[in-house]
Amino acid sequence: DAGITQSPRYKITETGRQVTLMCHQTWSHSYMFWYRQDLGHGLRLIYYSAAADITDKGEVPDGYVVSRSKTENFPLTLESATRSQTSVYFCASSESGNTEAFFGQGTRLTVV
Amino acid sequence: ILNVEQSPQSLHVQEGDSTNFTCSFPSSNFYALHWYRWETAKSPEALFVMTLNGDEKKKGRISATLNTKEGYSYLYIKGSQPEDSATYLCAPGSTLGRLYFGRGTQLTVWP
């Protein structure tokens, strides 16, 4: 199916575990983004990528790692999950900086 | 990190009222201004992307204007309907591709 998809949709993990959230887009968009949704903060940028093998930090990168070996995939890894990382995570992609971004369905992550 | 301010934080209007919100952003190094609509339990969806000073865009009852020199954009909704209830987000785009969102304006339209 064309579009941008995130997996899993829901995840419960324990404190200290490593967890990876997947994001896949079929448009070959250059730019991809990871955001977290937090009450009172809206959408905060964690990491973004301008192209394969090019990534950069956003507002709240601590505790997260990304990679982009292929244009279509942009996985987000929590190296050692903490309760403060409980959130809804959105992946997005866009063709360029002045074109609209398309968002995935979101992944609800709970760290217990 | 860009300082993006949206006002008001929330807004409650009656069906049929027209309303508008403001997005303020640093005018230096302007590249593009995005507006998104975000319904509860869904993903944000793009409304407009504007790049030129004085730009005006319209989609149905929703329109937006852009002033890059003073660093603000207005979003207007004419004749609000209950289905317009959502959070409206703005985000200045940069040449490096970053998209930092404001905290949004939460609109509730009462029937």
Task: Dump pLDDT digits (tens) for B30-76.
Answer: 789 999 999 999 999 999 999 988 999 999 999 999 999 999 999 99
Residue B27: predicted pLDDT: 82
How far from chain centre, in Å, is Cα B97?
19
Q: What is the pLDDT of residues A40-95, one digit of tens each?
A: 888 999 999 999 999 999 999 999 999 999 999 999 999 999 999 999 999 999 99
Query: How many other CB atoms are found less than 10 A from the CB of residue A14?
Result: 9
Please list the alpha-helical segments (H only) found in chain B: none
Question: Could you give the CA distance from residue B72 to residue B7 in angstroms, rounded to a whole number?
Answer: 11
Taking an 8 Å cut-off on Cβ atoms, the answer to whether B96 and A106 are in contact is: no
Using 50, 70 and 90 to split pLDDT, how confident is the model at A1? low
Secondary structure E strands in A1-112: 4-7, 10-13, 19-25, 31-38, 42-51, 54-57, 64-66, 76-78, 87-94, 102-103, 107-111
- Which residue in this structure is represented by tokens 């509730």? B108
Taking an 8 Å cut-off on Cβ atoms, the answer to whether B1 and A59 are in contact is: yes
- pLDDT above 70 as % of chain B: 98
Q: How many Cβ pairs within 8 Å bridge chains A and B?
A: 68
Given a cut of 60, is residue B84 above it in pLDDT? yes
B72: phi then psi, degrees, rounded to nearest 5: -150, 160
Chain A nearest C-alpha distance from B93 (Å): 6
Q: Please tell me if residue B52 touches chain A, with a CB cutoff of 8 Å.
A: no
Taking an 8 Å cut-off on Cβ atoms, the answer to whether A43 and B44 are in contact is: yes
Using 50, 70 and 90 to split pLDDT, how confident is the model at A12? very high
8 Å CB contact between A74 and A91: yes
Name the residue in chain A with its Cα closest to that of B33: A98
Query: How many other CB atoms are found less than 10 A from the CB of residue A93?
Result: 25
Residue A98: predicted pLDDT: 85
Angle, vertex CA B36, rays to CA B109 and CA A40, nearest 5: 75
Given a cut of 60, is residue B1 above it in pLDDT? no
